[in-house]
Structure 1
Amino acid sequence: MINDRNDKFRPMVQWARNKLNKHPEGVVEVPPSSVEELADFVGYTYRELAKYLARFTPDITLTNDAEKVATSNQPKVM
């Protein structure tokens, strides 16, 4: 994510850098509630951010898989 040049999610770079400092293996699990808070911070929807983050998941290889991740963990609005 740090090397991604997508300006849309550029504010996420410092967050990713901080995570890498804490988790040098380079992979962390981000709970849905954290994705929701980060989405609010960067000004995008939960779904947009979840799809973006899913691109960096080592076992996600297809866009359709990223879409499934983005929609399956979305918090329910009451």
Structure 2
Amino acid sequence: MAANFRKSGSTDYQMSRMVSAIAWIACIAGIILILFDLGNLSDRNIYLMTGIGCFAAGIFIFLIGKAFVIARKKEDQENGRS
């Protein structure tokens, strides 16, 4: 029974902050890569393509992290923990 008990408040907050930090790092890295060689707008520009990918991944990471936190809070409410 003790294995099923979890402290969701602090771990959810820590997970949300960590995922948000990773997402911000990915977005900032993507913006830096995009601005590194912006003059050459073509599909052969590796910095531009990688930057767009990092920026899109950062947004995706942020949204998935928030969705996990919301799902865990909803699960806790349904189980009567909170």
Bin the TM-score by the shorter chain.
Answer: under 0.3
Structure with greater proportional helix content: 2
Which structure's CA Rg is the greater one?
2
Q: Quick one: higher RCO (CA 8 Å, sep 6+), 1 or 2? A: 2
- TM-score using structure 1 length: 0.28
